Chain A
Amino acid sequence: MSTTTTERLDPTPPSAATPMLEVRDLVVRYGRGRKAAAAPAAVDRVSFSIAPGETVGLVGESGSGKSTIGKAILGLQKASGGSISFQGKDITAAGAAERRALGGELRAVFQDPNSSLNPRNTIGISLAEPLRLRRVSAAEARTKAEDMLERVGLPREAVDRYPSQFSGGQRQRISVARALICDPQLVVCDEAVSALDLSTQAQVLNLLADLRDERGLSYLFIAHDIAVVQFLAQRVVVLYRGQVMESGPAAAVTEDPKHPFTRALVAASPVPRPAEQAARREARESLGVRTGAAAVPAQGGCPFRLRCPLATDLCASDRPALRRVGSADVACHYA
């Protein structure tokens, strides 16, 4: 466990018992009609919750459904089943007006700094937009925008500039400022640093950590890079083909993974120390995980079974339920 955010938490949390966000048996299917119903769901009965002040990391490879979950929470993608509640309130099917009524407590930072700010609007206009929707006066919105820019390490004069005048890292900081301008409780970060170079990535990660400590924020941090998640998150949820494979404390999941997929994922992430990496490579090759390219998605059972060294007939017929192994919950019959 890295940071001890609970100690620096906002003095009056809504209620210790109510989670900030609770996702229950979420199912998302793309498309309509018979064909879509027959295809595997993009998100398949996923459940997790985020406590006030907690950062949960959502990790998985492309096609794991991690971004879809983020979109469903933000109302950008319709849920086909299950429920999402925010501070105890069901927001599964909330429309634009209801989202506005959330008072800006649920916000987002997206991946691509080039497309997350309207290039035709000044930074000031982009930052003021959520405030103006909540009927804040133009002058007040501008002052708030300037304060927020200063907070994320940009000059106040930046309000009158256009996104094209900033680098990728700076634009991502502006996106963070935009997300935080209405004092949210929960920020969904969807691959928020993956388009950035190492040095700027570290700047933005530090900024997110600083802001969390200052304001007692909760984050849902979605990323494909387990090391990045591990830096910020206290708990990690590992996804494969729309299903939760393993979830638990960040250190436990990344240092001592129990699920065969998590093991493969952690082992495949290379470290910049040649001797250690050589050892990790050998360990990875001895795991016996089959290549993903050959695995055809099949319905029913464990989605990882075609690549899994431990798979048996049971894995083809029964989808393993999450069960407690050590300090983590693992969806594997043999973990």
Chain B
Amino acid sequence: MIPTVAPTRADQTERTTAAAANARSAGKAAIAKFSRHRLLTSPGAVTGIVWLAALVIASLTAPLWLPFKTEDQDFTAVLSGPTAAHWLGTDELGRDILSRIFAAAAGTLGTSLLTVIVGVALGTVLAMLSAGAGERTEGAISRGTEIMMSLPGTVIILAVIGAVGTNIPVVMAILGILMSAGIYRVILGQAKSLQSQLYVDAAKVDGSSPLGISVRHVLPGLANTIVVQAALIFAVGMLIQAGLAFIGFGPPIPQPSWGGMIQGASQHVYDAPWMMVPTGAVLALTVLSANAIGNALGKAPNASAPHLPSAAARRQRAKAVAAIASAAPSDRSAKAHEAKGTLSVRNLSVGVDSAGPGKGVPLVTDVSFDVQPGTVLGLVGESGCGKTMTALSLLGLLPSGVSVTGGQILWNGKNLAATTDKDMEAVRGREIALISQEPMRALDPMFTVGYQLNATLRRLRGMGRAEARNEARNLLEKVGIVDAERILKTYPHQISGGMAQRVAIALALSGRPRLLVADEPTTALDVTVQAEILSLLRALVKDTGMSVVMVTHDLGVVADICDQVAVMYAGQVVENGRTEKILDNPRHPYTLALLAADPHANHAHAMPERLASISGQVPQPKDWPSGCRFAARCQFAGSACTDPVPLLPSGTGEGLVRCVKADQLAVEGMDWLATDVPASQVLGIAPKQATIIGKDLA
């Protein structure tokens, strides 16, 4: 009986199906992958594997090395503690505890494994059946397992023992059936999510049979969960089995069992308390090992960061803020001529904290821009350019593990980058507010719209209950909701996305902020709703005189609403200035290329045969070159582009551009070429591109 519980997961499915020609390198890759496996990086799990392996080997070879037979009675040493002869002491009949523990191990582990096999196999098969077949099958199976889960399992097992006697393998197999319901529940969720993956749809389009899909796409995806469940069930099975033996339903009398031994020890807790220790410790260690393996495998590999960091993380950030504050002593002269409601970002840098994974990687470097009261600034660029990080830093709401590493965020002359989280509470909502991309997720699903608005109004504006209720209705009407009374009573899931974004805007307006940070506020909405929301924002800017920092990837949105625009690429501002100047007469090749690649920039009658495209992709933060970050993809790049490029006056008004060839390009009036050469000749590909590390953060 070998504990196939955990470590043999590996990538067998991948290997057996991999093309034979490549078997060796695939095998090598699998080994390399395995050594970085979650299991081997967790000290607890490694200890667990070693312990279980040692236990199995020791118990299987027990007859060869055990100093005593399990039934040998040493009447000279009854109830003895550890001695040279009896390392772990003896019981009331003078039997050697060490010998009995190891003699009992194989049976305990083996029958627990039986529970695991029955439970996991049944649970998995039922879950895959449910996920693959229609709603009706799923309903029936789920009902059945719900019934099974609400049964007092131990009592039923005892009734089973009444019927079949203490036939441990049978009892443990039935225990497996009872436990399969819980396993089914865990696996079903995952099996369903795997079934809804697009690659399963693709396989269906291929004409794969349901069985083929289950075997090729669903089962391999479940492997890890199955092993995790197996390890945890193994532990529970051992505990239950020992418990049964403890109350007298163990293997027949002379045969040792861990539960029976603890039961025996409990009779002597008054005169020989030591007897409790060895068996209890071995049982606990074995359970602990199985749990450690399960937990190491079950740990979500890339859980997203909390939006409210833990107290420990907040303390660390406070230290970082203090460091920035002391590094950049407040500039009194700058403060003096900052008008009310002016945002001035100076050389802002944001990076991954040096402690975490991807340590110290910069995400935003040297970003500067100004926002005057009553104006809208667009931060535009592709994903991974640092626009959202820049926006969140304005409110001090960067995700855990990411912080401002340099520069200043001057709001009314106060440097927000050096302001503690506590002090930021006076700024958030009251002076700077936030709306985000997915309005539905931005609202608390557990509370009504009315509660959320009222609580915010009472907090930010110090209103009374009745006053807040009135103002909540006014706010909703202000953001264009006609039946405000009804909406106040609804929960977020009961309204549409466009309506939710209006509510989110009302929430943001409740503290009468002077600056609204809008992070892709219309990306998740339909275009007709987007147009309405943009009109609403424009009207609000006009009526209230607040300013907006609008993060977007859509140049059309920029053209619609922004007065100023800063184009970002790979964590830098590459061009900024007035919107008309930049969109009608771009100076940076990246802006030029983005416009040429945008199908919206063309009229239907003049739609080109091929769009201009930019080869390759935005580089990962860790791969940023020291010179121009766009050079590798730029049609105009030259030798001068390998040196760092500063922001230079672009020659059109107050705009700036980060390109050494900007003037030359302007004079020559060059266009980004719309190529119709085969894609393979244009597309530069990074063949060695590694797994994307900063992806979750950027």
Contacts and interface: CB of A to CB of B under 8 A. Distances in A.
User: Within the complex, are A and B direct neighbours (CB within 8 Å)?
Assistant: yes
Interface of A: 2-3, 32, 61-62, 71, 74-76, 96-102, 104, 106-108, 110-112, 115-118, 120-122, 124-126, 128-130, 133, 138-139, 142, 150-155, 157-160, 164-167, 169-170, 175, 178, 197-203, 205-207, 209-210, 224-228, 230-231, 250-251, 254-255, 264-265, 267-277, 281, 284-285, 289, 291-294
A271 B529 contact: no
Contacts of A96: 204, 207-210
A277 B603 CA distance: 13
Contact of A273 (B559, B689, B690): B559
Interface string B385-407: 00000000000000000000000
Contacts of A125: 14, 17-18
A164 B691 contact: yes
A230 B604 contact: yes
Interface stretch (B166-174, B510-518, B606-614): B606-614
Contacts of B531: 267-268, 270, 281, 284
B493 to A, nearest CB: 15
B611 A206 contact: yes
Given A99-B206, A274-B559, 10 more contacts: A112-B198, A115-B198, A124-B18, A151-B680, A206-B611, A209-B609, A231-B607, A265-B528, A269-B600, A293-B529
A209 B599 CA distance: 14
A100 B682 CA distance: 35
A273 B601 contact: yes
Interface residues of B, number: 97
Contacts of B22: 124, 160
Nearest to A249: B604
B682 to A, nearest CB: 8
Contacts of B498: 291-293
Contacts of A289: 528
B201 A76 contact: yes
Contact of B206 (A104, A202, A264, A273): A104
B597 interface: yes
A159 B499 CA distance: 46
B532 interface: yes
A272 to B, nearest CB: 4
Which of B21, B202, B594, B613 counts the most A-chain CB atoms under 10 A from its CB? B202
A139 B602 CA distance: 45
B322 to A, nearest CB: 38
6 contacts: A153-B683, A155-B687, A199-B614, A270-B527, A276-B559, A291-B480
A122 B21 contact: no
B199 A75 contact: no
Contacts of B203: 129
A222 to B, nearest CB: 14
Nearest to A63: B526
Interface in B190-217: 197-199, 201-210, 212, 216-217
A207 B681 CA distance: 12
A157 B687 CA distance: 8
A62 B206 contact: no
Interface string B607-643: 1011111110110000000000000000000000000
Pick the 6 closest A-B CB pairs, nearest first. Answer: A270-B556, A100-B207, A272-B555, A202-B597, A202-B613, A199-B614
> Quick one: which of A75, A107, A166, A200 has the most chain B CB within 10 A?
A200
B232 to A, nearest CB: 23
B679 A207 contact: yes
Interface stretch (B42-50, B143-151, B459-467, B578-586): B578-586
Nearest to B525: A62
A161 B530 CA distance: 39
B20 A118 contact: no
B526 A292 contact: yes
A108 B17 CA distance: 24
A20 B291 CA distance: 57
A268 B530 contact: yes
A250 B209 CA distance: 38
Contacts of A76: 201, 204-205
Contacts of B583: 272-274
Contacts of A170: 617, 685
B607 A2 contact: yes
B553 interface: yes
Given A112-B198, A209-B609, A292-B526, A228 B678 contact: no
A227 B580 CA distance: 22
Interface in B1-53: 11, 13-14, 17-22, 25-26, 29
B611 A205 contact: yes
A138 B554 CA distance: 44
A170 B539 CA distance: 41
Contacts of B444: none
A106 to B, nearest CB: 7
Nearest to B691: A164
Interface in B228-272: none
B366 interface: no
Given A110-B198, A117-B199, A271-B556, A230 B607 contact: yes
A272 B597 contact: no
B482 interface: yes
B535 interface: yes
A86 B250 CA distance: 66
A110 B617 contact: no
Contacts of B183: none
Pick the most buried of B13, B197, B605: most chain A CB atoms within 10 A of its CB: B197
A74 B559 contact: no
Nearest to B687: A155
A268 B617 contact: no
A288 B662 CA distance: 44
A71 to B, nearest CB: 8
B613 A206 contact: yes
Contacts of A166: 689
Contacts of A291: 480, 498, 529, 532
Interface in B454-485: 480-483
A41 B559 CA distance: 38
Interface in B529-571: 529-532, 534-535, 553-560
Nearest to A151: B680
Contacts of A130: 206
A191 to B, nearest CB: 11
Contacts of A154: 685
A108 B22 CA distance: 29
B509 to A, nearest CB: 18
B689 A167 contact: yes
A95 to B, nearest CB: 9
Contact of B679 (A62, A206, A281): A206
A270 B14 contact: no
A122 B598 contact: no
Instruction: Tell which of A122, A150, A178, A274 has the most Cβ of chain B within 10 Å.
Output: A274
A272 B599 contact: no
A199 to B, nearest CB: 4
B687 A231 contact: no
